[in-house]
C-alpha cells in the first residue's frame, strides 16, 4: 500500500503486505501490518498494534504500550531519523537505531 498523504490505519485492521506513506502513518489499536512500514513523516503506533517487518521513519516513531515489532526467529529493525519513544511493554525482535536520541518510559510504581 502506498499513500501520498497522511495515512490512518483503523482499529483491528490487518494489512497483508507493506505500507509506505509520503507523510505520517498512524496505526490504531490492535491493527496489524504483515510487512514493513515506511514513512517520510512521523509514525504513531497505538496500544497493542503490530508490525511484523521493519519500521523506518524520516521523522519520529512513537510506540504506545504493548506494541510488537517483528516476529520470533526473524530480525527486524526500527530506524528513525528523529526520536524513538517507547512506552512500557513494547517488544522489538531486532535492532533499534535513531539519530537524535530516544526515550523508554520506566515502569510505573
Confidence of residue 109 (pLDDT cuts 50, 70, 90): low
Question: Residue 33 in contact with residue 7, Cβ under 8 Å?
Answer: no
**The pTM is what?**
0.91
Confidence (pLDDT) at 46: 98
Q: What percent of the chain has pLDDT over 90?
A: 83
56 contacts: CB under 8 Å, gap ≥ 6: 36, 37, 38, 39, 77, 78, 79, 80
For 51-100, how does the pLDDT look when each residue is reduced to its tens digit (9 = 90+)? 999 999 999 999 999 999 999 999 999 999 999 999 989 999 999 999 88
Average pLDDT, the chain: 93
- Check residue 101 and give its pLDDT: 76
pLDDT in the model for residue 99: 86
Predicted pLDDT of residue 108: 62
Q: Identify which of 47, 35, 28 has the alpha carbon closest to the alpha carbon of residue 105.
A: 47
pLDDT of residue 106: 60
Amino acid at each position: 500500500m502506498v499513500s501520498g498523504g497522511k495515512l490512518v490505519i483503523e482499529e483491528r485492521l490487518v494489512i497483508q503486505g507493506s505500507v509506505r506513506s509520503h507523510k505520517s502513518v498512524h496505526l490504531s489499536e490492535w491493527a496489524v501490518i504483515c510487512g514493513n512500514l515506511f514513512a517520510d513523516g512521523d509514525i504513531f503506533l497505538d496500544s497493542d498494534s503490530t508490525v511484523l517487518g521493519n519500521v523506518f521513519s524520516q521523522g519520529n516513531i512513537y510506540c504506545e504500550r504493548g506494541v510488537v515489532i517483528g516476529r520470533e526467529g526473524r530480525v527486524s529493525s526500527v530506524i528513525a531519523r528523529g526520536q524513538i519513544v517507547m512506552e512500557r511493554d513494547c517488544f522489538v525482535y531486532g535492532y533499534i537505531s535513531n539519530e537524535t536520541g530516544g526515550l523508554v518510559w520506566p515502569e510505573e510504581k
